[in-house]
Amino acid sequence: MAKRVLIIYAHQSSASFNAAAKNAAVEVLTAQGCTVEVSDLYAMNFKATATAEDLKDIFFSYPGEVANAENFCYLMESKLAWEEGRLSDDITKEQTKVTEADLIIFQFPIYWFGFPAIMKGWIDRVLTHGFAYSQEKRYSQGVFKDKKAMLSFTTRSSESMFSPTGIDGDMNVTLWPLQNGILHYCGFQVLAPQIFWAPASVADEDCKSMLEAWRTRLQGLLEEKPLSFFSLGCFDEKTFQLKPEVQEKHASQEFGLTVGIHLNKPLPPHNQMKAGC
């Protein structure tokens, strides 16, 4: 059955390397029979700030009343609005795209070791409490456990700078809050990231080689094994600490379990960059 792919794309220029990477994904995946949709956030002028304006009146399109105006809590107000069908139209349109997608690719330049503000705003506003996660439905039991997601991004620094001995530190550490704290938290099966190292600083031929490698990977992307994250069942239901038997099982191993849950051991190499590690 044909797969549906959603690309969340954040770059201001159609002549950028990110645009070329996005276009390659659309072309290759479409040729494989996938239905590919792109949310071009800058072209959409997508609102990045999570505010009360996101909660419309149940009968009208303008903002409605909030449950607690004196102590506004976006997490709870947006959950209530989602339950009552009162989220703004730009949010509900994106939520429909997410619901229909089998795979979501986030294509962006890394800013300040994270997402561009407009993409972080998409995450804040679209992946609302209730729709994308809840206390009962998160991590391995998450809402989107039957969907896949991945990061595809450019850096300004070279690969060696994003290493355990480089000035920017281990890229696996940078990726942990993005891949575990957002994608895996919502239940996604997280595919290994596609990293384009410093395309603005290399020769044109190197850029072409990076794009060709991406096109080659795209041929088998939908069949790739996802990254490894620990199951929610490995943690105590009340304290959310690793169960003693899990800790005991791994006590003699050289490396920790993951970049974030490392048991005070050396970080497992490539944990956030390669499947099966």
Residue 60 has pLDDT above 60, yes or no: no
pLDDT of amino acid 3:
94
pLDDT of amino acid 62:
56
Question: CB under 8 Å to 57, separation ≥6 — which residues?
Answer: 63, 64, 65, 86
Q: What is the pLDDT of residues 234-268, one digit of tens each?
A: 999 899 999 999 999 999 999 989 999 999 999 99
Pairwise CA distance, residues 243 & 223, whole Å? 32
pLDDT of amino acid 65:
73
Q: What is the pLDDT of residues 177-216, one digit of tens each?
A: 999 999 999 999 999 999 999 999 999 999 999 999 999 9
- Lowest model confidence (mean pLDDT) among 58-72, 127-141, 170-184: 58-72
pLDDT more than 90, % of the chain: 88
Average pLDDT over residues 153-157: 96
- pTM, two decimal places: 0.93
pLDDT of amino acid 67:
78
pLDDT of amino acid 239:
93
pLDDT of amino acid 63:
63
pLDDT of amino acid 230:
86
- At residue 90, φ and ψ (nearest 5 deg) are -65, -30
pLDDT more than 70, % of the chain: 96
pLDDT category of residue 275 using cuts at 50, 70 and 90: confident
Question: CB under 8 Å to 117, separation ≥6 — which residues?
Answer: 48, 111
Residue 70 has pLDDT above 90, yes or no: no
pLDDT category of residue 69 using cuts at 50, 70 and 90: confident
Q: What is the pLDDT of residues 25-45, one digit of tens each?
A: 999 999 999 999 999 999 999
Average pLDDT over residues 117-135: 97
pLDDT of amino acid 56:
80
Domain 4-226 classified CATH 3.40.50.360? yes
Pairwise CA distance, residues 111 & 120, whole Å? 11
CB 150 within 8 A of CB 106: yes
pLDDT of amino acid 276:
63
